Amino acid sequence: MLVSGLFVAAAETEQKFLGDESDGSRATPIHLIPLYAENEDGEKGEKIQPDAEFPMPFSTRHTCIDCHNYDLVKKGWHFNAVDANVPPGRSGQPWIYFDSKLCIQIPLSYRNWPGTFRPEQIGLTEFKFTKIFGRHMPGGGPGEIEAEDIDDIGRQLVSGKLEINCLSCHNANDGQDMGSQIGYSVQVARENFRWAATAACEFASVTGSADQLPATYDPFMPDPGVKDAPTVTYRKEAFNENNEVLFEIVREVPNERCYYCHSDLYIDNEDAEKWSSDEDVHLKAGLTCVDCHRNGIDHNIIRGYAEEANISQNPIAAMSTCEGCHLPEGEDESRTGRHGAPIPTHPGIPTVHFDRLTCSACHSGPWPGDKTILTKTSRAHKLGTPNVNKAPDGLPHVISPIFAKQEGIIAEYLGRDLLLEDRKIAPHKLIWPAYWGILEGDRVEPIEISIVENVIGGVFADLELSATGDWPQISKEQIVEAIRVINTAIGTKAVYISGGKFYSLDDSGAIKEQENHPAAQPYLWPIAHNVRPAAQSLGVRYCTDCHATDAPFFFGDVTIDSPIVAERDSVKKMVEFLNVRPFYMKAFAFSFVFRPWMKIIALGSCAVLAMVLLLYALRALSCVAKVLAGNNQ
């Protein structure tokens, strides 16, 4: 019975509803629909009446579910991070928790990407995680997990769950408010999870903060006397006589919606501004993000890396990579050139490059300079939200571009990780993890943030914080003191990780530094965009774009980021991230100094050989002619 029950549940999950199966029309379906709230049992509640005394926020789940299978949608890539059965695939951008006063900057992910930590390892429950990072999530995932922590259970009763906000992507109305003072991000930060989607849409506004309310507050029995209680005000003109609302829903998500969570700012100079840098060449050619990053109703969106087709259920994953559109391969030649993609000829590029490099290595991200640059991303730096720190050196410190071999797990099969094969070189963003941990054998387990705060808060109490949000200036002596305090408080061997180094105390209590410890390795994730035009790709000028003795591709400086003052000016060479011997790469690059000479010598030798051959061929012809002419002398 249990098995049959599971089958029924699975079948219901896979079931497609009215709006989930297209009839083939490419016209935009009209979404003139009534809105429904969620009731106190989590079921479909009453229809929203804009002129009600205390209107509830509408629930996307219960409003959209008449036509769309919500349970199918929530399996999509944007919502399924918490599902352990989903293969993590190529390493991606982590969520970054940082606290300058505690000298912490740590990459987090629910996906099993090597180098990231699970949020619960630093004491973040799904509820807390959602409150911090939900600002740049389209809902779902951790936002819909039932709270288990005793504190969170009460808070979640007030805040509700952060449902998938369909409108965060599919609302084409300019009024979709993700980042204003009263928009989606602020509502999430106020724990107004239940109200967030409503507050973000163009025809409603929300005041109040759930996080200011006691856990005993009942949002389904609003009390006008309670200060700060979340309150919805609907714009009545948006509703027709049947209390239906016309949504500007589009199937193909506008680029601006993607940009809210997927913007980058490369700080290559003090005045780095978005207007001074170019967008992706594909967008300029008229494509949209979702022309390549496609999905069906299961929202299993294509990430776009070459190996994805091995694990993706998306049937067009293989043809939605760079190669899928640009390179004729196998029997699908007729599919190349999709969207007008030019077929590259790559003149003069030895084919070995295609075996060892991703397309993005030469075509994507910022052009590498002598030194890596600080980079801001929407999700790491809260771009597009109110009161964002606009200082270039504000934490977290994401560094790019770094050329390194791709990491990732394609699939987990029978408990064994199947690692990414043919790890090609790609441009990456990088973060140097900085955290306090406990040494367990060779493994370092991060200490929960709340414990760190309680234990070493006193040590760093007088620390002068940077006005720009940069690291404070701490010394190794302060690290020693902090480790000593943690050791005493927790009774275990505490360590500090930062800037690629592992700090611990030896038996005499002196600081011990260790480089290349596995726990201190940086976390890197590949850069796919912005794609530069072909004329701006690496190697377009000459081989020495990469193979010069000072070419940034191999010999650029990668900044080592650390709050410890003594480590601030440290750098590593790019070649150290490529698992190749620096001397070899230097010698190989040096050989390119002589490459023009080699060409001249070889061509000159060929000319001499050809002339000798021609000369003696003519003489032989002369002999034959003489013989045939009867002149045998």
Q: Does 30 bind another protein (CB under 8 A)?
A: no
Q: Is 149 helix (H, G, I), strand (E, B) or coil?
A: coil
Minimum distance, C-beta of residue 622 to another protein, in the bound complex (Å): 12
Instruction: Please say which residue, 283 or 548, places its beta carbon nearer to another protein.
Output: 548
Q: Which of 616, 618, 621, 622 touches another protein (CB under 8 A)?
A: 616
Q: How far is the CB of 628 from another protein (least distance, A)?
A: 7
Ordered DSSP codes for 564-599: BGGGTT-EEEGGGGTTS-HHHHHHHHHHTTSHHHHH
Binding footprint of another protein, residue count (CB under 8 A): 38
- Closer by beta carbon to another protein, 438 or else 580: 580
Structural contact between residues 497 and 433, judged by C-beta atoms closer than 8 angstroms: yes
**Segment near another protein (CB under 8 A); pick from 101-109, 154-162, 244-252, 625-633:** 625-633
Alpha-carbon torsion (451, 456, 458, 462), positive or negative: negative
Residue 347 binding another protein, by CB under 8 A: yes
Q: How far is the CB of 486 from another protein (least distance, A)?
A: 46
**Applying CB under 8 A, does 625 fall inside the site for another protein?**
no
Residues 130-149 that bind another protein (CB under 8 A): none
Q: How far apart are CA 34 and CA 239, in angstroms?
A: 9
- Least distance (Å) between residue 625 CB and another protein: 12
Does position 535 interact with another protein (CB under 8 A)? The reply is no
Smallest gap from residue 267 Cβ to another protein (A)? 34
DSSP 556: P
HSE (side-chain half, CA atoms, 13 Å) at 621: 6
Is residue 330 involved in binding another protein (CB under 8 A)?
Answer: no
Distance CA 579, CA 592 (A): 21
The smaller minimum CB distance to another protein, of residues 153 and 623, is found at 623
The answer to whether 328 touches 343, Cβ cutoff 8 Å, is yes
Instruction: Give Rg (Cα) of the chain.
Output: 30
Decide: helix, strand or coil at residue 289: helix
Locus of tokens 């009545």: 236
Instruction: Provide the minimum distance between the beta carbon of 605 and another protein in the complex, in angstroms, as a whole number.
Output: 4
CB of 606 to another protein, least distance (A): 5
CA distances from 623 to 374, 377, 542, 594, 612 (A): 75, 78, 48, 43, 17
Using the rule CB under 8 A, is 350 a contact of another protein?
yes
Task: Please state the closest distance from residue 347 (CB atom) to another protein, in A.
Answer: 4
List b or e across 487-506, with b for residues whose CB sees 16 or more CB atoms inside 10 angstroms: beeeeeebbbbbbbbbbbbe
Question: Cα 256–301–192 angle (5° rounding)?
Answer: 60
Spatial CA neighbour of 160 closest among 195, 206, 121: 195
Nearer to another protein, 294 or 346 (CB): 346
Nearer to another protein, 106 or 578 (CB): 578
- Closer CB to another protein, 5 or 350, in the complex: 350
Q: Which of 32, 153, 613, 625 binds another protein (CB under 8 A)?
A: 613
How far is it, in rounded angstroms, from Cα 597 to Cα 594? 5
When asked if residue 619 is in the footprint of another protein (CB under 8 A), the reply is yes
- For the CB of residue 535, give the shortest distance to another protein in the complex, in Å: 13
Under rule CB under 8 A, residue 549 binds another protein: no
Q: Considering the complex, what minimum distance in angstroms separates the CB of residue 314 from another protein?
A: 28
Residues 351-390: x where in contact with another protein by CB under 8 A, - otherwise, as a string = xx-x------------------------------------
- 284 binding another protein? (CB under 8 A): no
State the nearest-atom distance from the C-beta of 577 to another protein, in Å.
Answer: 18
Quick one: 509 or 533, whose CB is closer to another protein? Answer: 533
Q: Which of residues 552-611 bind another protein (CB under 8 A)?
A: 584, 587-588, 591, 595, 597-599, 601-606, 608-610
Q: Which is nearer to another protein, 454 or 579 (CB)?
A: 579
In angstroms, rounded to a whole number, what is the distance separating the alpha carbons of residues 277 and 366?
10
Tell me, what DSSP letter sits at residue 340? G
If the CB atoms of residues 242 and 632 are measured against another protein, the closer one turns out to be 632
Burial class (CB in 10 A: 0-12, 13-18, 19+), 52: middle
Nearest of 545, 546, 543 to residue 554 by alpha carbon: 546
Instruction: Map 216-269 to HEC letters.
Output: CCCCCCCCCCCCCCCEEEECHHHECCCCEEEECECCCCCHHHHHHHCCEEEECC
Closer by beta carbon to another protein, 215 or else 625: 625
Q: Does 341 bind another protein (CB under 8 A)?
A: no
The distance of closest approach from Cβ of residue 541 to another protein in the complex, given in angstroms and rounded to an integer, is 10
Angle subtended at Cα 150 by Cα 144 and Cα 153, rounded to the nearest 5 degrees: 35
Find all residues with CB under 8 Å of 298, minimum gap 6, and list them.
72, 73, 75, 76, 313
Positions that interact with another protein (CB under 8 A): 344-352, 354, 584, 587-588, 591, 595, 597-599, 601-606, 608-610, 612-613, 615-616, 619-620, 627-628, 630, 632-633
